[in-house]
Structure 1
Amino acid sequence: MSDDRRRQFGAYLARLRRDAHKSQRQLAAMLCAVSGTQSVTRNEVSRWERGERIPDSWLQFIAKVLGVPRGELERAAGYVRGESGGPPFGAAMVLAELIPPGDSLGSLDARSGRRVGREEVASLTARVHGFRLADDVLAGGDLMAPAFRELNAALRLYREGIHSEAVGSALLSQIGELAQIAGWIASDAGQHAQAERAYRIGIEAARQANDGPLVANVAGSLAYQFSNTGQERAGVDLSRAALDEAGPDAPPKTRALFFDRVAWAHTRAGEAQPAMQALGQAHDALTEADEGEAPAWAYWVSREELEVMDARVFTELHRPLRAVPLLTGALSRYDATHAREVALYRSWLAMALADANEPEQAAEEARRVVSVSADMTSDRIASRARVVLRRLQGFGEVPEVRDVLHDHGHLLSSA
């Protein structure tokens, strides 16, 4: 039984407790109550969370008190004992893996007069990037509560703590980055008003930190939401304003991202020519990119990701002969653990195949998308599944399509 695995389990248990809004003392008292004993103390819970002990005999009671599946806890404990090949896949375990262990900012509970230094900034920086990595493999519904808890705690830390100007500026940058990922997570969960609130907080924090590229990243994320929620003209205007805010001296990798968002905004507005022009500018910018120049939040921008946006634009513009090869290539090399992104790309592939008059293949992709959407707390996936099903209604005479609509057509009436 490795020390690392015990610590991972401890971080996992601590996150489950925090997500249930319980203190260590409250958890101990509740475990005593449901078990009919008085043998659990706050100190014992603390030992579990530090990874000093694994509470094997208490797992059934912990599951009951915290409202989590007992099987998930037992798989996690089995992983610690070396009984399974890989870590369990529950959302809390993924967060425990990706968010650095130790107390969250939510438990720092910043007080007036508290001294805040670079150590707190470094901790926040690591946790922000952990949320980015968690978003790669988890859906918005799994991440929204912990992300906003961290954002609110970071705001308190900045407002109520005492810090130097340099530390304050660094905190503001990290608050801007955290607000961006929290907004993205909320948008994926379908909580668009909450997402916009987070994005606006992030824009203001980044402006106060004098971080033009970060302002552009957060504003561009809000523009992307506008484009996808019926505010297409606002999406165009804001995505272009974000590009201007970044300026010509922004790292090329970030400019590639901002041009991609401009392309998507024009696509959603039905403006093919400026969309295609922006796609070309994104690729041109990326050819100039020096990996050392890019900020951490642009870690995912690559030629392959630009090609995915190319394919999405071609699909929306009904150019399937260009879209299908790009999407097929992207899916062949994409990490299967990124289930949401894979399903989203399959949804565009289904649409492109329908436009190419290949309804049988489109139905096969649609079934895969709907299957994933049923098990994922992502409003984006659910919405894309409905879009694909509606598109297939024009091929109702095709047996494969008829079967998919028979099995899943009820999703259209439940929207």
Structure 2
Amino acid sequence: MAGIAAVAAGAGLLGGEVVQPRRIGTADIARLNAVLELYRSVDRETGGGLLYREVARFADSVYRMLDWSQSAGLTPPLVAAVATARQLAGWTALDAGRHGDAQRHFVAGERAALTADNALLVAMIRYAQAKQLQHLRHNRDALATLQLTCAQLGSQATSATKALLWGAEAASIAALGDHQTALKTLGKASDQFERINKEREPASMGFYDRGELFAQYGRVYRDMARRDRRHASEAVRWGRDSIAAFGAGHVRSTVLNEVGLCSALFLADEPEQALAVGARVLKQAKAMSSRRVIDRVVNLRRDLVRHREIPEVASFERVLSAQAVMTA
């Protein structure tokens, strides 16, 4: 963290007072994007709790760069970089449980992306907003946001963007109870995933991999299993497949899907395996600074109900309830 801040400050991109305005060059934008990627990598590995104040300060600082002078050709990439900074500030705030701050940054980022006429970046920011709405269980609003984004993208949508947005749509559709449509939407996402050509995708889609797609399958099948236990084994399979597919740098995503696997195992009437995964998840969650991870861990209580009579499960539930009180 200190190293990244030092790099940003050395590049004139961060500080209590922004450096004297000057003319912006190509190197400035390159440094800005490089610092953003450093922050992004830390976020994936440790969570947003350690980052959100620092990234918010960084985003607010670089926002002022819009008032600096630059050639007409550099204005769009500068505005896009500033929008990306606000998006990352919103994302880390969301992960830290600072939902008001997250929304403020998302709105500012969307405004900048629209100014830059960067439709794909607008889509990524709205995707982040939808993920926040899903976390808060506002799935109708999340679905409306995702569907509007797809419609407005039209022919500008890349295969990865379509797969990402449709996968997220499927999760909200399933949460709303329309499982048949959710599975059809997942199928569309999978078809687009197989068409991805990395060379034609924006850098912002670099994080999207097969693990992210499989994670949405896991979410949909968990929702289905809550209404029909016959789907629980599929939920378990997709949970394990998503964990196996994530790269080493996707630590938080791996932990989130370990939580999902724990839920799926309880739903599949495999409480011993669920407890083994749950113990691992509790340890992993303590090592991360992610309120979003903690919220998901606490929510495990809804899927262990059938096994409360088992003493070890009852003990696990008490631990989760204590965690809920601590984070309230």
TM-score, scaled relative to structure 2: 0.90
1:57-136, aligned counterparts within 5 Å? 95=4, 102-103=10-11, 105-107=13-15, 109-111=18-20, 114-136=22-44
Secondary structure at 1:105 match in 2: coil
Alpha-carbon distance in 2 for matches of 1:122, 1:167: 11
What SS class does the counterpart of residue 289 from structure 2 fall into? coil
Question: Where does structure 2 lack aligned partners over 5 or more consecutive residues?
Answer: 226-230
Q: Which residue of 2 aligns with 1:264?
A: 171
Q: 1:327 aligns with which of 219, 231, 239?
A: 239
Deviations 1:367-389 (A, max 9, x none): 22222223322111111111113
What amino acid is aligned across from residue 285 of structure 2 in structure 1?
S
- Aligned CA RMSD, in angstroms, stands at 2.3
Amino acid of the residue matched to residue 109 of structure 1? V
- Structure 1 gaps of 5+ residues are 1-11, 16-92
Name the structure with the higher helix share: 2
Q: Which residue of the partner structure matches residue 308 of structure 2?
A: 396
Q: Counterpart of 2:100?
A: 193
Aligned with residue 112 of structure 2, among 202, 205, 208: 205
**Aligned ranges for residues 339-358 of structure 1 at < 5 Å?**
339-358=251-270
Change (3 A) 1:405 1:230: closer
* 1:359 Cα deviation after fit: 1.4
Once the two structures are superposed, residues 9-32 of structure 1 have per-residue CA deviations (whole angstroms, 9 ceiling, x without a partner) of xxx6xx2xxxxxxxxxxxxxxxxx
How far 1:390 sits from its partner (Å)?
Answer: 4.0
Structure 1 moving runs of 4+ over 6 Å: none
Shift of 1:391: 2.8
1:374 is aligned, of 286, 289, 313, to 286
Aligned match for 1:232, one of 121, 126, 139: 139
Contact 1:311/1:324, CA 8 A, preserved across alignment: yes
Q: Which residue number corresponds to residue 53 of structure 2?
A: 145
Rounded to whole Å, the distance in 2 between the matches of 1:392 and 1:256 is 32
C-alpha distance in structure 2 between counterparts of 1:253 and 1:118, whole Å? 28
User: In the TM superposition, what whole-angstrom CA distance separates every residue of 1:80-101 from its partner, at most 9, and x where no partner exists?
Assistant: xxxxxxxxxxxxx6x479x779
Whichever residue aligns with residue 340 of structure 1, its letter is R
Map of 2:121 onto structure 1: 214
Q: How far does residue 335 in structure 1 lie from its aligned partner after superposition?
A: 4.7
Amino acid at match of 1:213: L
- Number of matched pairs: 321
Deviates more, 1:403-412 or 1:149-158: 403-412
- In structure 2, relative to structure 1, the CA distance for the partners of 1:284 and 1:141 (3 Å cut) is same
Contact 1:213 1:246 in 2 (8 A): yes
Match of residue 310 from structure 1: 217
1:331–1:342 contact (8 Å) kept in structure 2 = yes
Amino acid at match of 2:261: L
Equivalent residues of 1:360, 1:398 under 8 A apart: no
Distance between the aligned counterparts of 2:250 and 2:209, measured in 1? 16
SS at match of 1:163: coil
Instruction: Write the distance in 2 (CA, Å) between the matches of 1:283 and 1:260.
Output: 8
Q: How does 1:287-306 map to 2 (within 5 A)?
A: 287-306=194-213
CA shift, 1:238, in A, is 0.5
Relative distance call for 1:278 and 1:100 in structure 2 (3 A) is farther
Q: Which residue in 2 is equivalent to 1:410? A: 322
After superposition, the Cα gap between the structure-2 partners of 1:384 and 1:226, relative to the gap in structure 1 and judged at 3 Å, is: same
Report the CA distance between 1:400 and its aligned residue. 2.8
Aligned partners of 1:390 and 1:307: how far apart in 2? 22
Separation in structure 2 between the aligned mates of residue 122 and residue 337 of structure 1, nearest angstrom: 23
Amino acid at match of 2:121: L
Matched-pair identity in %: 27
The answer to whether the 8 A contact 2:297-2:320 is kept is: no
Larger RCO of the pair (alpha carbons < 8 Å, separation 6+): 2
User: Residue 89 of structure 2 contacts residue 105 of structure 2 at CA under 8 Å; is this kept in 1?
Assistant: yes
Secondary structure of 1:219's aligned partner: helix
| Counterpart residue type for residue 192 of structure 1 | H
Distance, in Å, in 2 between the alignment partners of 1:297 and 1:332 is 23
State the distance in 2 between where 1:157 and 1:366 align. 46
1:179–1:201: 8 Å Cα contact kept in structure 2? yes
Give me the TM-score of the superposition, normalised by structure 1: 0.72
Contact 1:110–1:156 (8 Å) recurs in 2: no
The CA deviation at 1:210 is: 0.9
Which of 152, 164, 183 is residue 276 of structure 1 equivalent to?
Answer: 183
| 1:190–1:251 CA distance, 2 compared to 1 (3 A) | same
Larger radius of gyration: 1
CA distance in 2, matches of 1:199, 1:281: 27
State whether residues 215 and 246 of structure 1, in contact with CA within 8 Å, keep that contact through their aligned partners in structure 2: no
Greater mean alpha carbon deviation, residues 401-410 or residues 240-249: 401-410
Amino acid at match of 1:389: R
C-alpha distance in structure 2 between counterparts of 1:311 and 1:257, whole Å: 15
Post-superposition Cα deviations, 1:30-55, rounded to whole Å, max 9, x if no partner, equal: xxxxxxxxxxxxxxxxxxxxxxxxxx
Deviation at 1:334, TM superposition (A): 4.0
